């Protein structure tokens, strides 16, 4: 069907971008488009004559499928937070708006979808330029990063900042090292880290976590865009659970996720659905996910032991609360499990995940400036992943030498 009317134009384009054709410089971009619409003609040319049906396109698409629930929830939540926090908005429509699902989705989409669009637009164009200049195929890695980056941003982050961060993430996080499969840092987190360090006011503080512009929109009484993490790190004393409950942040509230926060990170329930998809298809590493959670629980428990009556609320918080607060769940399921930047050996992965969990909680508790530690923990462990693998491999080599 599609075959009938696209074969001609596609063949013509490929012909024109051939080695001596007029569109030679755009060959890789045209080829990327071609291999999107139809499978390449490539056949096996070595002694392994048959191949598995899975390719990187399908692999990356599966991660996107696991992220779509997060995206949909992000849209809903952005709308929900906004419409339940204001009485009037001077932005989209005049007058007050009925708080119902349709309106949540419409208003949420207004904030979230441009972020997704700009990320893909910038990222894919940069990938194509690199592919054309270096003369290699456009890699599919960005299909996933392009969805991850906007979901880690505050719901109303300025689009130009996201664009610049995405460019940095793709270029320095990946292309500089040779493209997909060669990076040692998670490109989506590299983009977010750039955003965090370059434009800290856009990504921290207690005003950015709802898509509400306090200058333009009229807010309700008692309006607050503070996240659970901000609350937990701004009070002291043992009854932190009670304090959080009073702010509308009970465990089930945070698990469900209709709370302020980064676009896709708030709902642990929805993230668990994504985790289920990744695990059942074998794409995501359950090992990394579990060891990260264990690491966080251990560190949270240690802090509980050392917490005194004057300690910050976050030290007193039950360890399992860390999983539903902030970007922990999202990072565990979608960022830490990136197979290229994680450790490669099974044992290495256990240590890698464990220390991500430990470090995330550690940074949350002792960092005075910024309460979220997940991004930094994962990036730091990305750097240490080869270290863990190195020692596992050393053990393997030792076993082999001992045989001889």
Partner 1 sequence: MGVYHIEKGHNLPLAGSAELKLEELPQAQTVSVNFTDYPSRKFRLFVKAGDTVKAGQGLCSCKAEEDLVFTTPVAGTVKEINRGARRALLNIVIEVSDSNDVVEYPTWDADKIKSSDREALAKALRESGMWQLVRQRPFSTVADPQALPKSIFINAMNTGPNNADQEFLVQGREAEFAAGLSAISKFTDGQVHLVTQPNSTVKAFTEAEGVNHHTFEGVHPAGLTGTHIGLIDPINKGDVVWFAKADQVALMGEFLLTGKVPSHQVIAITGAQAPINAYAKVLRGAQISDLVDIDFDKLRVVSGDVLSGVAMGPTEGLGIYENQVSVLPECKEQFYLGEDRHWTGAGVNRYSTFRLFLSKIIDKDAWDLDTSLNGEERGIVLPDVYDRFSPLDIPFNFLVKACLAEDIDSMEKLGLLELDPEDVALATFACPSKTEVSEIIRRGLAILEKEG
Per CB under 8 A, residues contacting partner 1 are 1-3, 6-7, 35-44, 46-59, 61-62, 137, 139-141, 178-182, 280-283, 285, 339-340, 344-346, 389, 392-393, 396-397, 399-401, 403-404
Nearer to partner 1, 2 or 102 (CB): 2
Nearer to partner 1, 1 or 215 (CB): 1
CB of 359 to partner 1, least distance (A): 23
Question: Rounded to whole angstroms, how far apart are CA atoms 219 and 83?
Answer: 9
Question: Rounded to whole angstroms, how far apart are CA atoms 342 and 115?
Answer: 27
Question: Rounded to whole angstroms, how far apart are CA atoms 217 and 206?
Answer: 16
With contact defined as beta carbons under 8 Å apart, do 128 and 146 qualify? Answer: no
Nearer to partner 1, 169 or 313 (CB): 169
Q: Which two tokens stand for residue 85?
A: 């926090």
CB of 196 to partner 1, least distance (A): 26
Phi/psi class of residue 178: alpha, beta or left (left: φ > 0; alpha: ψ in -120 to 50)? left
With contact defined as beta carbons under 8 Å apart, do 307 and 354 qualify? Answer: no
Return the ∠ at Cα 374 (arms to 372 and 377), rounded to 5°.
120
With contact defined as beta carbons under 8 Å apart, do 141 and 180 qualify? Answer: yes
Nearer to partner 1, 72 or 393 (CB): 393
CB of 344 to partner 1, least distance (A): 4
CB of 18 to partner 1, least distance (A): 17
CB of 222 to partner 1, least distance (A): 48
Nearer to partner 1, 34 or 88 (CB): 34
- Spell out a b/e string for 260-279, using b for 16 or more CB atoms within 10 Å of the CB, else e: bbbbbbbbbbbbebbbebbb
Nearer to partner 1, 141 or 353 (CB): 141
CB of 115 to partner 1, least distance (A): 25
């Amino acid at each position: 069907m599609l075959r009938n009317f696209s074969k001609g134009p596609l063949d013509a384009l490929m012909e024109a971008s051939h080695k001596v054709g007029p569109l030679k410089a755009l060959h890789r971009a045209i080829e990327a488009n071609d291999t999107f619409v139809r499978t390449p003609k490539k056949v096996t040319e070595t002694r392994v004559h048959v191949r598995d049906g899975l390719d990187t396109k399908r692999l990356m698409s599966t991660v996107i499928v696991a992220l779509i629930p997060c995206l949909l929830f992000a849209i809903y939540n952005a709308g929900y937070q906004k419409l339940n926090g204001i009485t009037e908005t001077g932005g989209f429509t005049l007058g007050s708006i009925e708080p119902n699902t349709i309106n949540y989705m419409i208003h949420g989409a207004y904030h979230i979808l441009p972020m997704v669009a700009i990320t893909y637009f910038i990222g894919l164009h940069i990938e194509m330029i690199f592919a054309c200049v270096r003369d290699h195929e456009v890699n599919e890695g960005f299909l996933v990063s392009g969805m991850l980056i906007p979901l880690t941003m505050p719901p109303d982050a300025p689009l130009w900042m996201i664009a610049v961060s995405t460019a940095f993430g793709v270029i320095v996080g990946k292309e500089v090292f040779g493209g997909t499969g060669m990076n040692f840092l998670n490109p989506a987190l590299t983009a977010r880290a750039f955003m965090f360090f370059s434009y800290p006011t856009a990504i921290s503080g207690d005003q950015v976590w709802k898509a509400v512009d306090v200058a333009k929109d009229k807010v309700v009484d008692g309006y607050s865009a503070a996240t659970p993490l901000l609350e937990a790190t701004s009070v002291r004393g043992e009854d932190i659970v009670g304090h959080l409950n009073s702010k509308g942040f009970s465990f089930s509230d945070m698990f469900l996720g209709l709370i302020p926060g980064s676009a896709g990170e708030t709902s642990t329930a929805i993230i668990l659905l994504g985790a289920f998809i990744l695990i059942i298809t074998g794409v995501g590493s359950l090992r990394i996910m579990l060891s990260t959670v264990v690491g966080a629980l251990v560190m949270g428990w240690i802090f509980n032991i050392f917490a005194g009556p004057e300690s910050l609320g976050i030290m007193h918080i039950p360890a399992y609360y860390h999983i539903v607060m902030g970007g922990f769940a999202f990072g565990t399921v979608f960022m830490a499990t990136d197979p290229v930047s994680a450790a490669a050996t099974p044992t290495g992965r256990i240590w890698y995940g464990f220390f991500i969990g430990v470090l995330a909680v550690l940074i949350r508790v002792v960092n005075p400036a910024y309460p979220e530690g997940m991004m930094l923990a994962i990036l730091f462990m990305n750097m240490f992943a080869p270290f863990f693998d190195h020692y596992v491999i050393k053990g393997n080599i030792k076993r082999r030498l001992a045989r001889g």
